[in-house]
A and B are shown apart, each in its own frame.
Chain A
Amino acid sequence: MSTTETTASGVGPVEGAPVYTVDNPAPLIEAPRKRTKKTPRSTRGNFELAAWLFMRLSGIVLVVLVIGHLLIQLVLDGGVSKIGFAFVAGRWASPFWQVWDLLMLWLAMLHGANGLRTVINDYAERPNTRLWLKGLLYTATVFTILLGTLVIFTFDPNIR
């Protein structure tokens, strides 16, 4: 009558006898897409999670670095009027401000570039457009970080 009736011993209505015994235990059914030695290692890491976390951690550090920078450049000691080659020479004579500017450069550029990557992902829908915009973004980012780093490390107060 009932065709869906099953028993613990796995006796099927057709076989009439237990299918599984001690010598013939129930077959283990592999989960679909089970990882084996032959499957390649994970192709997708936790990049997006790392990027999400980086945006938050770098943001907290940037509050101090950037607002401190604006305070020094625009508010203290006469505001913008004092800025000039001599002022920069005085600041970069100190390793403390060199490291400050270097950290600010790297964190702000990477934070901003990753933010722009999100914006491109959101608005550029054609694969080609995305590819080109991101290529442009990454090129500009690498160029800016390298240039800024070079300028800090090779600054010469006696250039002329």
Chain B
Amino acid sequence: MPAGTLYRGREGMWSWVAHRVTGVLIFFFLFVHVLDTALVRVSPEDYDKVVATYKTPIVALLEYGLVAAILFHALNGLRVIAVDFWSKGPRYQKQMFWTVMGVWIVLMAGAIYPVLGHAARVLFGS
């Protein structure tokens, strides 16, 4: 490995890229989410009509993606906080990154049935 690439292309850089991308995605989602929730002030029918689209299989997949983004951003955010405030944080940043990925995979596996289960029932019948 050439000199000066201790950071570039390694865990530290990629976790930063992913943290930034997920953060921006969640912000855009939240903007739309507050708009759709505001429909409760318009009428129950309009609100229920929009929420019905949230229960379709394709949107369920998007919801799974949103959960993936939030869980990564939350876990890696805690890692960033540990790097900044814990005296040994910088030394263990790499181990903490792989811990984050491990916990993330476990939680994502656990979310498959609750988040995608109803979509499977719609698609394949219950």
Among A66, A79, A88, A159, the residue within 8 A (CB) of B43 is A159
- Distance in angstroms from B28 CB to nearest chain A CB is 9
Docked CA distance A94–B78 (Å): 30
Decide: A75 and B115 in contact? CB cutoff 8 A: yes
Known contacts A74-B114, A113-B27; decide if A84 and B51 are in contact (CB<8 Å): yes
Q: Which residues does chain B contribute within 8 Å of A109, judged by CB atoms?
A: 30
Report whether B37 and A80 are in contact in the complex, using a CB–CB cutoff of 8 Å.
no
Is the CB of A20 closer than 8 A to any CB of chain B?
no
| Contact partner, B37, options A62, A115, A148, Cβ 8 Å | A148
Residues of B65-81 at the interface with A, using a CB-CB cut-off of 8 Å, are 67, 70-71, 74, 77-78, 80-81
Q: Which residues of A contact B81 (CB under 8 A)?
A: 56, 59-60
Q: Which residue of B lies closest to A92 (CB)?
A: B40
Chain B residues with CB under 8 Å of A131's CB are: none
- Assess whether A115 is in contact with B27, with CB atoms less than 8 Å apart: yes
Interface size classification for chain A: 35 or more
Q: Which residue of B lies closest to A137 (CB)?
A: B27
Contacts of A78 in B (CB 8 A): 118
**Which of chain A's residues 81-98 have a Cβ closer than 8 Å to chain B?**
81, 83-86, 88
Interface-central residue, B27, B70, B77, B114, by most chain A CB under 10 Å:
B27
- Whether B54 sits at the interface, judged by CB under 8 Å, is yes
Cα distance A2–B31 when bound, in Å? 75
Q: List 19 A-B contacts (CB under 8 A).
A: A63-B77, A70-B70, A74-B63, A74-B111, A75-B114, A80-B60, A81-B55, A84-B47, A85-B40, A115-B23, A116-B23, A144-B34, A147-B38, A148-B34, A151-B38, A155-B41, A156-B41, A159-B40, A159-B43
4 tightest Cβ-Cβ pairs between the two chains A and B: A112-B27, A85-B44, A75-B114, A148-B34
